[in-house]
Amino acid sequence: MSILIDGTTKVICQGITGASGSFHTKGCLDYGTQMVGGVTPGKGGQRDVNDLPIFDTVSEAVRATDATATMIFVPPPFAGDSILEAADAGIAVICCITEGIPVQDMVRVRKRLEEYPGSVLIGPNCPGIITPGKRVSGEGPSAKFEGGCKIGIMPGYINTAREDAPSGKAVGVISRSGTLTYEAVWQTSVLGMGQSTCVGIGGDPIRGLGFIELPEMFNADPETDGIVMIGEIGGSDEADAGRWIQANVTKPVTAFIAGRTAPPGKRMGHAGAIIGGADDTAQAKMDALREFGVHVCESPANLGSSMATALGIEVASAVS
């Protein structure tokens, strides 16, 4: 099983005629995602370079395609309104890839999204979400999959469906870092594990789903055996999540916190990755997570082996 999306999910792309939108729409199509159309105001009635129908509004796209998910590649000044347009059209899973949305816009968006309990936001400034499909042919980037769904910019071929995993186990991945998401996926795949769903939640200070909502979903998923959580400096989300996990999650959780060498007051890459106080540091978050029973890795290189150990998987035999 999985959370939020699966092989039956129908997806549109807002900003489908832009360079990034068209490129990543093709990547999702190649993976096997049911991409059913896109939205670019003023270009309704045309077809994009992937021969998908283009609509002027999300509402028109939903009526014509029955889409329930969207990925947003709209430029930053307009991306906040694009999120709200998707929610207003009844889209259930809104995945905003766009980076650089003004914080004030996201404050307004988060408040307005309270009016749409049927919609969830992933991102912004994130790599997206993927529920792996079963490999049917090929290896590496040319591999073909079926029954999965990739929304966003993640490299699909490094993911492993539960039925393809030698251990027969699958983990859920939650990460503020895009590249460390891929690292966790690669390591768990190499060590014989699959992934139920992987969610890149993004590195902005104001964002959608986070380290409490997603562990709750994974904990309720009967085919997610463990959870990999990747955080970073800035804010208190990870420590708050550790407290919640201790009280509510029955599955093993492995975590890594990036930014141990970051100086206070200096933003490190992501808009939300800035140390504002003693509790924002990587070490403080690691200490808090350990206190709450989470398996904390000192290095991202240990994410896979830590999860394998927690699940009782022999690392040496898994690699061989």
Q: Kindly tell me the sign of the dihedral angle through the C-alpha atoms of 201, 206, 212, 217.
A: negative
* Digitized pLDDT (tens) for each residue of the chain, 320 residues in all: 799 999 999 999 999 999 999 999 999 999 999 999 999 999 999 999 999 999 999 999 999 999 999 999 999 999 999 999 999 999 999 999 999 999 999 999 999 999 999 999 999 999 999 999 999 999 888 899 999 999 999 999 999 999 999 999 999 999 998 889 999 999 999 999 999 999 999 988 899 999 999 999 999 999 999 999 999 877 778 888 899 999 999 999 999 998 775 666 555 555 544 444 446 677 888 888 899 999 999 999 999 999 999 999 987 644 43
Spell out the domains of the chain, with CATH numbers in brackets.
10-122 (3.40.50.720), 160-319 (3.40.50.261)
In sequence order, the β-bridge partners of residue 59 are: none
In sequence order, the β-bridge partners of residue 131 are: 149
Q: Catalytic residue at 270? A: yes
Q: pTM for the complete prediction?
A: 0.91
**The tokens 């890459």 sit on which residue?**
269
Q: How far apart are CA 202 and CA 301, in angstroms?
A: 21
**What secondary structure, in 3-state letters, does 168-201 show?**
CCEEEEEECCHHHHHHHHHHHHHCCCEEEEEEEC
Question: For residue 261, what are the contacts with CB-CB under 8 A and spacing of at least 6?
Answer: none
Active-site choice (270, 288, 296, 305): 270
Count the residues in the chain. Answer: 320
In sequence order, the β-bridge partners of residue 71 are: 13, 95
